[in-house]
């Protein structure tokens, strides 16, 4: 019997709602449990609210990974990375997806709906979810992302 697929929390603003819907459908078709934390329509909303909701789901253990979508992915990533314990990267391709998981132990992927098409985003997300963190030499660097790390004087 295979292990259950990880739960993925999704969040988007009005610019990202269409791409979020495409990613959600693909995740559900693949068997991933999905927490869709909004938004659901084209009415203007504030992206930090949805980034916060997805971050909370990941930090509380309700989801193993998160996906955030806005126009560029940049605002969502900036909002997410304010949360201690979140490592969010904007993804444009499978190479970035693989490396941010393997080397940075990223737990949230951000996409720009105005910059990345659904096929590319889905390929990147599949790679992101399938790539394990390598640990080893990367542990020291990822540890320096902790709020407890104090740089040497």
Q: Which positions are catalytic?
A: 70, 103
Q: Give the contacts of 64 (CB within 8 A, at least 6 positions apart).
A: 6, 7, 8, 58, 107
Q: How far is CA 28 from CA 43, 48, 50, 68, 82, in A?
A: 25, 25, 20, 16, 29
Tally Cβ neighbours within 10 Å of residue 126. Answer: 15
CA-derived radius of gyration, the chain? 15
């Amino acid at each position: 019997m295979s292990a259950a697929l990880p739960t993925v929390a999704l969040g988007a603003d009005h610019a990202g709602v269409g791409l979020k819907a495409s990613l959600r459908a693909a995740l559900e078709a693949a068997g991933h449990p999905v927490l869709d934390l909004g938004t659901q329509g084209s009415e203007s909303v504030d992206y930090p609210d949805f980034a916060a909701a997805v971050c909370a789901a990941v930090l509380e253990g309700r989801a193993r990974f998160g996906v955030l979508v806005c126009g560029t992915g940049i605002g969502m990533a900036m909002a997410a990375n304010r949360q201690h314990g979140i490592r969010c990267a904007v993804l444009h391709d499978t190479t970035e997806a693989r490396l941010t998981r393997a080397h940075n132990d990223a737990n949230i992927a951000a996409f720009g709906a105005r910059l990345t098409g659904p096929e590319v985003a889905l390929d990147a997300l599949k790679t992101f979810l399938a790539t394990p963190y390598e640990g080893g030499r990367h542990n020291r660097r990822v540890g320096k992302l902790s709020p407890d790390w104090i740089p040497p004087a």
